[in-house]
Amino acid sequence: MLNSTSVHEAALKFSGGRKLLSVESLHRGHIHETFISTWSSDGETSRMLHQRMNNQVFQDIPGLMHNLKRVTAQLRLDTWRARDYQLEVLEVIAANDGEAWATLPDGAWRTFTFVDGTDTFDHCQGSEQAYGAAVAFGNFQARLFDLDARELVETIPSFFSSTHRLRQFQAALRADVKERARSVRPEIEFVMGHTHLLELVETGQAQGRIPVRVIHGDTKLNNVLFDQITGAARCIVDLDTCMPGWSLYDFGDLVRFAVSVSAEDETDLTRVGLDQDIYRAIEAGWMDSAGAFLNADELELMPLAAAIVTLTVGLRFLTDHLTGDEYFKIQRENQNLDRARVQFEMVRIMERNGAVLAPVTSR
């Protein structure tokens, strides 16, 4: 944990002549450490949001910040593709020396304008909110349609690749450092029976059917700031995995996160379920915002996107269980195994459930 002196010291690097009144921890987000500061200048108060960047997860901080600047500049362009994009663009505040981030003894810090009067949600509040989030993320992709993906750095190499995750899993299984493989045979079989699903998108890319696009890469509901009064989506945050990927990934991850009705680590699998209304709202929102630029192959795979991403996330939990819980923090024994089981159960329900998987084009 950071002490308050070093947090103050970090905030002051971005003072820009303002007077610092207070800094407090936000206690949100799982990757960076986030703080809010309040300032006064000419009798006006303003707020900023500071993050000490996690350089374990993101090892190329200059690359990360290059992407952030490039992406936010593109989002500000008024391209015809996203003329309906009414969201506020995340604004990076430069440090006093003009750099986009400041290096202090405890790490690299960056600062954003604090978007006032908004809330974020860890659980979806209903169809209207789900539709709003889907439109926001779909428009986000539309805005970035003309940005050449090669201009961006892969901030975490192979992050979206399901086949890479499969290879990591197979290596963990061979090494079996914690000797846990024996106790997770049904889960291993489940994965091995679903490798076709893990290969679909990348096979499509190799055949020239599925294009590489700039995507958000972390389309969880809590990365959308919703207006406290109107409930409308106002701003998309957490742009650290915004890099070359597949459009289907953003759609699938949003569905995975928002339709789930159980806890992520639920041990009673009968409580795992999917909210159909929320699924349909996300699908509608995605089609209304991204539908115009998706190609026929992407549209065809859309009904499978959530299952692919859910399976891949389950695979990552299972791999982490095998390697000794190195990536996803645990509070109790077998928590990553339970998380994997929930994801796999969701995949089973998606497979059984015609409504979730029905082709979008047939409605």
Ligand X SMILES: Nc1ncnc2c1ncn2[C@@H]1O[C@H](COP(=O)(O)OP(=O)(O)O)[C@@H](O)[C@H]1O
The residues that touch Mg ion, with contacts defined as CB under 5 A, are 29, 223, 238
> Closest residue (Cβ) to Mg ion?
238
Residue 253, interface with ligand X (CB under 6 A)? no
- Dist. CA 241–CA 65, nearest whole Å: 11
- Dist. CA 310–CA 332, nearest whole Å: 22
- Dist. CA 337–CA 172, nearest whole Å: 14
The number of helix segments (H) and strand segments (E) in the chain equals: 11, 10
Residue 34, interface with ligand X (CB under 6 A)? yes
117 vs 126, which CB is nearer to ligand X? 117
User: In this structure, what token pair is assigned to residue 244?
Assistant: 């070359």
* In the complex, least distance from residue 339 CB atom to ligand X, rounded to whole angstroms: 18
Near ligand X by CB under 6 A: residue from 9, 29, 38, 291: 29
- What kind and span of H or E run contains 41? strand 33-41
Residue 172, interface with ligand X (CB under 6 A)? no
Near ligand X by CB under 6 A: residue from 63, 66, 114, 334: 114
- Dist. CA 96–CA 19, nearest whole Å: 13
Q: Can you spell out the DSSP letters for 54-88?
A: -TTT---HHHHHHHHHHHHHHHHS--GGGTT--PB
Near ligand X by CB under 6 A: residue from 74, 223, 247, 310: 223
> Closest residue (Cβ) to ligand X?
29
Residues that contact ligand X, how many (by CB under 6 A) = 19
Instruction: Measure CA 91 to chain center.
Output: 19
- Dist. CA 254–CA 271, nearest whole Å: 20
Could you give the count of Cα atoms lying within 13 Å of 37 in the half-sphere of its Cβ?
25
101 vs 190, which CB is nearer to Mg ion? 101
The window from 113-121, 136-144, 152-160, 294-302 that contacts ligand X (CB under 6 A) reads: 113-121
> Taking CB under 6 A as the criterion, which residues in 301-360 touch ligand X?
none
Residues that bind ligand X (CB under 6 A): 26, 28-32, 34, 49, 90, 112, 114-115, 118, 120, 222-223, 225, 237-238
